[in-house]
Each structure stands twice: as C-alpha cells, then as structure tokens.
Structure 1
Amino acid sequence: MKTSRPWLAVLASLLLLGGGAHAQPRVAPPVTPARGPLTPAELATTLDTIESVIQRSYVFPEKRAVILERLARGRKSGRYAGNTPGQLAEHVTEDLKAASGDGHLYLIHDPAWFAAQQAGPKVSASDSAEAFHRKQALRQHHGLTELKVHPGNVRSMKVTGFMWVRDETGGVYDDAMRFLRDGDALIIDLRGNGGGSHAAVQYLVSHFLAPDTLLMTFQSGTQPPVQSRTLEHVPAGRLMGKPLYVLIDGRVGSAGEDFAYDVQQFKLGTLVGTRTAGAANNNAMLPVAPCFQLSVSEGRPVHAVSQSNWEGTGVAPDREVPATEALEVALSMAVERLAQRPGATAQELAEYAWARAGLEAKRRPVSLSSARLKSLAGRYGEIDVSLRDGSLWLVRPGRPPGRLMPMTEDGLFAVEGTDSLRVRLPGKALELFWVTEPAPRVFSRG
C-alpha cells in the first residue's frame, strides 16, 4: 500500500499536511463509538495489512525483519486476540516501537478518519478526507492557539501543531507574524507540539531566513531526493534580527523538532526547556481496515547545515530548565538582553526593568506574615488599604478594590489583574507606581 502523494501525511486525524517530517500531535483523540473485540477475520486482515506495508515501505530495510518478527510473536502469543480496536492499536504500537525505536511507527484507532479516506470519487466535498482534516485545522486555528504581549513588549506565539491547509493556513500565519513583528523580542512556544506538516514549518522559518535558503533534503528509498527551501516572498515580511526564544520539551516531536532544529542549526535564536522527543523520519498515514490508520516511516530528512537530523537523539536546549519554567526563563532572558540593547530609550529601559521585577517575583514568590500585613493596613490619604481573607486590598475612590500580591520583602506589591500598577508600603506612606510614569505618587499615612 502506498500513498498517492509521497510527501503528504495526515497526523492522528488532525491535519491536512504537506511534505516533510511528521509525528502524532498531542491532542485529544476523536470521540468514537464503543465497539466490541475485533473478529478473528478482522484481526487477521488488520495484521496482514500492517505487515505488508512494513515489508514494502518501511524506510530502513534492515529493520523490517525484526519488526515483522515482533508482530508475529504477538500473534502467536495471543496478545492481540480478543482485543477491541483501541486495545489492538495500543498493543501493536507498543510492539512496533519496541522493535524499531521509531517514533513515527504506530497504529491509531480512528474510524472517522478511516471512513473519510475510503470515500469514493463521487462523495460530496463536505464528506471528503480533505474536508475532514480542514475542519479539524479550523477548530484549532491551524495550530496557532495563543498570541500575547508580555511586559517589555516581548511577544509570544503558542504553536500546538504544525497544521497546513493549502491556501488557508498561510493567511493565519501572516496575521500572527504581523503581530510578532512589532515586538521587541519574540517567543515561540512549541511545548507539547507533537508535529505536523513541514509545509507549515517551511512557511514559519522563512520569516527568519533569507529567501531560497536550503532547509532540508528529503530522501525516500529509490525516489529522487526532494529539497525544501525558504520562500521567496512572505506577506508579513521577514523578522530577522530580533531576539528569538523557542520553548521546547520532551513532547515536542517531528515537525515541532524540525523548526527547533532549524533555529539551532541556523543560529536564529535560543532554545529553552528540555530535550525533544527525537522523531525525524517522514511518515505517511495509511488506512487499515476496519477502522485504523497506520503511521509508517517512508523517508528521512537531511538538514542543510548538519547533513544529519535529530532521529533518536532529539534537539537539545541551549538553556536547560524544567519545561514548566521555560516561559518565565525565556522572558527573563529576553528583557535582560533588551536592557543592554544599544539605542534603547529611557521609557523602554523603564519597561524592561519593570518586567524584570515582575518576573523575579514570579520565579521567587514572597510570603509576608499576617502580623506584617496587619501592620501595613490603614488609611493613606484618599486610599484605603484593608486586610481581609489573609490579603491586603487596595481601595481607591471610584475604582474596584484590587488584591495586593507581595513581590519583595520590603513591601512592594503587584495589583492583581493589572501589570501596569504597583504599590509600595514602606510603613508611613503609600507609593503608587505606574509603568508609564518616571516617579511614584506618594500618599502619607493618616
């Protein structure tokens, strides 16, 4: 069995993809009706198909016999007998991975995707496989799930999967890149990104490299190698020269690693977090009766710089920190670097200092005793600071109360819900700091 387009793969019933490196995205599996165990005839057909595909198409011929022997052992032992489709997918995947060490060799129970793939040429456009995966991409906003401006005008984008719908996803990226373009520094958060389409990676990385830069050469058996290069034109313009930080973790695989590897090999920015999964091979998603899709590696990418790839090793971070801390660390690195930027204005430097103080407070939380908080409560001019529910509250005339969150031991507080206002309570006065004002407003204690 062979896909009609060798560089087109569909990942875990999520994406309509273009060429390149792929992996199972880390999203919730589709909800499917429960069914009983496979019949012996169904089980035999499923396993026969899987074995046939591996024998004919698996990228490393020297591993085929070991993989097939592992499946034969599973059959003989009765490991697969009486399995429901979900159980069989789990057991077969465990055996495929154990025999191959390949993150792109797995079986998924996905009857909706299988049915879409089996649709005949007369099926309506709305029921086609392409429409099925386009719908998934639209519901995930093509994998671009969050854009945010952080203090210091550091801008971030969360990419949960590298989806690609021809003639549609590019426009979504264009809007996102215009948003990032106006940031002083950029963060692209790939944590949990299990992969997707090289076409999406190619589009994104083209914003950070010169046109027509060779990225990858994809090799697949006896087929001629296929090159991937950066695009000549990107509507949002290039973003080269701005500090770039990319967040990674052990759940980043395949196309997610593709982008991280480009960033590292071309020295485009800094990788922050933990080592990625190590799945580089190119896979195709093939329908397997009665209700499965099989991911099988059919090729491998060769990077233009390293002349290798990340299969089995993953991509190592430049700054290794726990994945849960990667965003805060990257933000700290960004504002530290921006504060040293030649030509930064006084207002920009004040914003970077403000951002550093907030980040430091998050990384090293401060807790003040009840007695200390009680001593700071009181009336400061027209402002009241009250103690309730174990916290100080700022009450200003005509404004809703705001909870004060301790930032430092010497009485600096953030106001919950806003990044633009802070309060210092040294004891005999209250000082209000706004990020846009050079000096605080001072209110004496009454």
Structure 2
Amino acid sequence: MKNATSYFLCLLLLFCTSYLCNGQTTSKPAVKVDHLIESISASLDKHYVFPGKAQAIIAFLQTQTKKKAYSSSSKDPQKLAKQIQADIYKIHRDPHLLVEYNPNLSGQIQGKVVPSEEEIRRSKIFEREKNYLFKKVEVLPGNIGYLLINGFVEHITEAKPIIASALGFLANTNAIIIDLRENQGGEPDMVSQVESYFFKEKTRMNDLVNRSNKDTTFYYADPAKTDSLTLSMPIYILTSRKTFSAAEDFSYAMQQAKRATIVGEITGGGAHPTMPFTVGQGFVVSISFARSLNPVTQTNWEGTGVVPDFQVDASKALVKAQELIFRERQIIAETKKEKQKLDYLINALHVNDDLLTLPLDQFDKITGTYGPLVIYRDGNRLFCKFADNVTELAHISKNLFVLDGNAHIEFVKDSKGSYSKATLFVSDGGIFEEQRK
C-alpha cells in the first residue's frame, strides 16, 4: 500500500495523456465481449472494496452478456466501455469505478508494476524541487502559526527535515493553522508522519482495509517519529471542496481525535484508494481496492466529505480561523487589557479598505480636530494628520477605522448625535480618548 497512491497518480496522468492521443481507427477487430466481461468480473471479485456490490454487478453484467446486450457495440470499444459503465451504475453508482478503452494505459500497466530505480530517483528530485509540497510557513499577527501544505508526498526520509523545520519554526506560537484548501491528497504514510508532531502519546488515527491483499494497515500518530518535537497548541485545519483523499484523511483523523478544529468547506469525499487494472483487449477498469476506517467512528468520509466544525466559504476560512482563535483566547484572558488587545486583533481582520461604503456626508460629520489629530477629507478619502505625518484611514466597520499599523480609531457620537470624541485602540490593548475641539 505504501506506493499505491503515488503510482495511481502517475498512471492517472498517463491515462489522461494517452486517452487524448488515442483516436479510433477504422479497422479494429471486434471485441471478444464474453472474455472482456469475464475479465472485468474477475477483477471486481478480487479487488473491489465492497464484495457484495461486486457480486451484484458481476451477476448483472453476465445476464446482459447472455442477452447479447453488448453485441452491437463490439466493434466500437469506446461505445462498449460506456455501455458497460452505464450498466454497472444501474446496480451500484460509484464514481471511482470506471471502465475505459485505453490500449496505451493498458500496456503501461502490464509492462510496469514496480517503478525503476531511475524513476524513483527522478521522483525524489521532483519532490525536492517542490519543497515536498510545504509551500509556506509564517507567523501571523497575534502569534498564530500558518502552514500551507499542498500535498502529502511519498519520500518521508527526504522530506522529514523540511517538516521538522517548518513545525519547529511555529513551535512558540499560540495556535497553528494548517491550510489544506489546495491539497488533493498523497501518501497515507506522510499523513501519519505529520500527525505525529501533534500528539504526546502514540495514537491510532486510521485503518486502511485492503481487499486486494486481504490485509489491514494501521496508521498511528507516533511522537517517536518526530525527534522529540511535540506541539501541544490548538490546531485549526482549513478545507475546501478541492481538499481530497489523504488531505481528508488528515483532517478527519485529527478532527475525530479531538486534536483539530476544521474550518472551511465540506471536502471532496474520497476515502477509497483506487487503482486502474487492465482487463485485456485494451480495456482498463479503475477499482477502489481499499477503504479507510476511522477507529473512533468506525466509518469514513467517502461520498460525504469531511464536515467542518465551522462551515464557511473557502475564501473566508483563514480569517474565520484567526477570529475563532482570538475569541477562544478572550475567554481565558486574565486581564482587561489582554481582552482589549484581542479585540484589536479581531477588528484588524475585517479591514476592507473600501471607504466608498460610507456616504461622503458622513465623512464631513467626522472631520475635525481630536486632540493632536486632524481628520480631513480629500475627495472620497479620509485622512489623519498628526504633526508632520499623514495617513489614510481604512474602514473596518461603522465608525471604526484603521489609523495606522498600531492603532484603530473610532468616532463616537454624543447624546445630541454629534461626533464629540475619538477613541484610540492601540495594538498592545491600550485605549485612549481624544476630545473634539
């Protein structure tokens, strides 16, 4: 199972290329339909993750064959593949289960089961040049760690220094956001490796039940694999509809182990590893040969996707996660100033830089001198002058604006409806008032 996902991805790329190049010829021999159905049935019986469904499909295909239902398509293999596919879906609709006529891919599967040393070497170079798909690491305002992972690669030994460096860089943050919104999967062993950094004790995370070899692989988060780097801060995972396969494995297992909060969109819903199998005469059948089984739920996310704890559009997930972190910290904040600092950080998340959302006459009501600050309008833009420094105000909400990188300013009305003072909120949690002159 270790190389199954990577091998499948390579074959899938090859499949797409060869399919586009594979035009029909005018002199193909007729397909031996009986032999084809027999071969498809044998592959389903041996590999398909749902034995009962496999038997029901096999019985129906054999009935159709006896009725000569495929005879008219025997000289048109593309049409025949679609017809068999449609009949399979009449019994059980599984988007992973695909029948294709693709002689090039069929030949590749027959001729190459294990990658050569040269192919492995090139694969390692490719992963290294992509930085093992660890694309970004930084510390966001409020001491929040951010890690962008766009895939779970195969070569753990080579990737391990990068993983350790990225997570070590975030070791002193108050919380970590792991962004999987563009992550479409990869290797379960790499998933297990990354999970291991977030647990103090060895924890069973996922089982992979393999029908083909009648074996089950158990995956653990194991701190013994992390060279003593264990991160105990809260973890938030960002997801989208694109988040798939191994990325869903990571999200679902972390969520069910109560080790992460998921923020974003429901994921793609692929919990069954799939591989193409050649069934002769140029035909290929993609079959789900294994299934994930979570030790907590005793099920998986196939077809349903991983459901976030907080469901928002993927484009808004990062801001939402930061806000959730700040609000959680407010609950346990011990001082008023600390709570005020977190209010500042929350407000800073919602700066839209769009002063056109406010009418110009409201700008004019705000303009004036507040202590040492002179607020004035220039066209449809609002500015603040302090000594010789001039900054443009960026709108947050209502009468609250960004004054500069370290302060927000809110214009406050008195009982008569006039703006009589301005409240300054400083990034360290301090609050000051300036009366209007």
- TM-score, normalised to structure 1's length? 0.71
Deviations 1:58-101 (A, max 9, x none): 22233335656679899767599586xxx999999898778654
SS of corresponding position for 2:230? coil
Q: 1:144 aligned to 2:134?
A: yes
Q: 1:408 aligned to 2:400?
A: no
Contact 2:395 2:401 in 1 (8 A): yes
Q: 1:168 aligned to 2:158?
A: yes
Q: 1:10 offset after TM fit, Å?
A: 1.6
Q: 1:353 aligned to 2:349?
A: no
SS of corresponding position for 2:207? strand
SS of corresponding position for 1:407? strand
Q: Count how many residue pairs are aligned between Structure 1 and Structure 2.
A: 416
SS of corresponding position for 1:340? helix
Q: 1:422 aligned to 2:408?
A: yes
SS of corresponding position for 1:216? strand
SS of corresponding position for 2:317? helix
SS of corresponding position for 1:310? coil
Structure 1 counterpart of 2:205: 215
SS of corresponding position for 1:200? helix
Query: After alignment, is 370-379 or 353-362 more displaced?
Result: 370-379
Structure 1 Cα separation of the partners of residues 285 and 123 of structure 2: 16
Structure 2 counterpart of 1:367: 357
Contact 1:282 1:298 in 2 (8 A): yes
Deviations 1:258-288 (A, max 9, x none): 1222122211132223433332223346689
Q: 1:9 aligned to 2:5?
A: yes
Q: 1:8 offset after TM fit, Å?
A: 2.9
Q: 1:105 offset after TM fit, Å?
A: 3.9
Query: After alignment, is 174-183 or 304-313 more displaced?
Result: 304-313
Counterpart selection for 1:37 from 18, 23, 26: 23
Counterparts in 2 of 1:308 and 1:413: CA distance versus 1, 3 Å: same
Matches within 5 A, 1:383-398: 385-388=376-379, 390-393=380-383
Contact 1:219 1:302 in 2 (8 A): yes
Counterparts in 2 of 1:299 and 1:355: CA distance versus 1, 3 Å: same
Contact 1:103 1:279 in 2 (8 A): no
Write the letter of the residue equivalent to 2:139.
V
Structure 2 Cα separation of the partners of residues 294 and 403 of structure 1: 62
Contact 1:253 1:278 in 2 (8 A): yes
Matches within 5 A, 1:264-303: 264-284=255-275, 295-303=286-294
Write the letter of the residue equivalent to 2:235.
L
Q: 1:229 aligned to 2:220?
A: yes
Contact 1:134 1:165 in 2 (8 A): yes
SS of corresponding position for 1:181? coil
**Taking CA–CA contacts closer than 8 Å with sequence separation of 6 or more, which of the two structures ends up with the larger relative contact order?**
1
Contact 1:210 1:230 in 2 (8 A): no
SS of corresponding position for 1:9? helix
Structure 2 Cα separation of the partners of residues 371 and 309 of structure 1: 57
SS of corresponding position for 1:157? strand
Contact 1:383 1:396 in 2 (8 A): yes
Structure 2 Cα separation of the partners of residues 149 and 54 of structure 1: 49
Q: 1:297 offset after TM fit, Å?
A: 1.7
Contact 1:14 1:136 in 2 (8 A): no
Contact 2:341 2:430 in 1 (8 A): no
Contact 1:247 1:273 in 2 (8 A): yes
Structure 1 Cα separation of the partners of residues 347 and 188 of structure 2: 39
Write the letter of the residue equivalent to 1:320.
Q
Counterparts in 2 of 1:34 and 1:398: CA distance versus 1, 3 Å: farther
Structure 2: 5+ residue stretches without partners: 413-418
SS of corresponding position for 1:235? coil
Structure 2 Cα separation of the partners of residues 303 and 60 of structure 1: 17
Counterpart selection for 1:243 from 215, 234, 242: 234
Contact 1:116 1:132 in 2 (8 A): no
Counterparts in 2 of 1:342 and 1:379: CA distance versus 1, 3 Å: closer
Q: 1:310 aligned to 2:301?
A: yes
SS of corresponding position for 1:306? coil
SS of corresponding position for 2:363? helix
Matches within 5 A, 1:189-208: 189-208=179-198
Contact 1:421 1:432 in 2 (8 A): yes
- TM-score, normalised to structure 2's length? 0.72
Structure 1 Cα separation of the partners of residues 149 and 70 of structure 2: 40
Structure 1 counterpart of 2:416: none
Counterpart selection for 2:430 from 433, 438, 444: 438
Q: 1:336 offset after TM fit, Å?
A: 0.7
Contact 2:344 2:425 in 1 (8 A): no
Deviations 1:295-321 (A, max 9, x none): 532222322222332333333222333
Contact 1:257 1:315 in 2 (8 A): yes
Matches within 5 A, 1:324-339: 324-339=315-330
Structure 1 Cα separation of the partners of residues 315 and 30 of structure 2: 42
Q: 1:369 offset after TM fit, Å?
A: 0.8
Contact 2:345 2:427 in 1 (8 A): no
SS of corresponding position for 2:157? coil
Contact 1:70 1:99 in 2 (8 A): no
- The sequence identity of aligned pairs, in percent, is 22
Counterparts in 2 of 1:321 and 1:384: CA distance versus 1, 3 Å: closer
- Higher Rg of the two aligned structures: 2
Name the Cα RMSD after superposition: 5.0
Structure 1: 5+ residue stretches without partners: 16-23
Q: 1:410 offset after TM fit, Å?
A: 2.2
Write the letter of the residue equivalent to 1:144.
F
Deviations 1:376-422 (A, max 9, x none): 5678868785524x3335577887x754321132242365xx5x443
Contact 2:409 2:425 in 1 (8 A): yes
